[in-house]
Amino acid sequence: SDAGITFAYARSIATGAGPVLQPGAEPVEGFSNPAWLAILVLARWVGLFDRGAWFGVPDYVAFPKLLALVMVAGVFACCYAVASAVTRRPVLVTAAAGLVTAAVPSFVIWTVSGLENALLALAVAGIAAVLVRAVVAGRLLDPATAAWCGLLAALAALTRPDGLVYAGAFPLAALLLLHRAELGRAVRAAALSLLVFAVPTGAYLAWRLAVFGQFVPNTAIAKAQGLPG
């Protein structure tokens, strides 16, 4: 499975074999979720992943599922943060959102699948929470808001290739709520957000070119994926 492929890369990197599917193989970027992969590598280093079993359950099953549950809890913490800024009954709104989401089989299945879906959901919910609370408080163009949105967008992009689109979240919000008198401030804030986004994503792209010699993951090449229509 795709999760198993990521697990194999996590083991190879954590044990010093490099970004390979198995020791001795040629380096190929057979994964497209470097942020999730990095978490698994760190977990293996500290003994939480791929080291044994928890109460009879292999830790390569238990740890990703437990981590996903924590991240989903983070998603609903973001929902609560938004609801507390725009409603008088944030607990009720968050509970309703949780019940509706729990009724969506694809969300429930994929967030605990061992893949990066829960991390992507947390990054995107985080962007939404930062933007909504900033707008309500009149802080949308503050440097801190721009920087947090850029950082979370970078996390989304490094979690899954299509997460790249969230780099436009802050600039789009600034454009939609733009006042002519604040044009210069909005441009500076958008530039800051994009810069914060570009630093980690650019660093990973440079590493990809140096190690694999490609601009996109090998998974995209193997599937002959083109640019979005």
DSSP of the chain: -HHHHHHHHHHHHHTTS-SSSSTTSPP----S-HHHHHHHHHHHHTTSSSS-EETTEEHHHHHHHHHHHHHHHHHHHHHHHHHHHH-S-HHHHHHHHHHHHHT-HHHHHHHTSSSSHHHHHHHHHHHHHHHHHHHHHT-TTSHHHHHHHHHHHHHHHHH-GGGGGGGGHHHHHHHHT--GGGHHHHHHHHHHHHHHHHHHHHHHHHHHHHHH--SS-HHHHHTT-----
List all residues 6 or more positions away from 71 whose beta carbon is below 8 Å from its beta carbon: 111, 118, 119, 121, 122
Please, what is the average pLDDT of the chain? Answer: 93
In this prediction, residue 214 has a pLDDT band, given cuts at 50, 70 and 90, of: confident
What pLDDT score does 181 carry? 87
Question: Is it the case that residue 186 has pLDDT exceeding 70?
Answer: yes
This prediction has a pTM of 0.92
**pLDDT tens sequence across 74-96:** 999 999 999 999 999 999 999 99
**pLDDT tens sequence across 95-143:** 999 999 999 999 999 999 999 999 999 999 999 999 999 999 999 999 9
What pLDDT score does 14 carry? 96
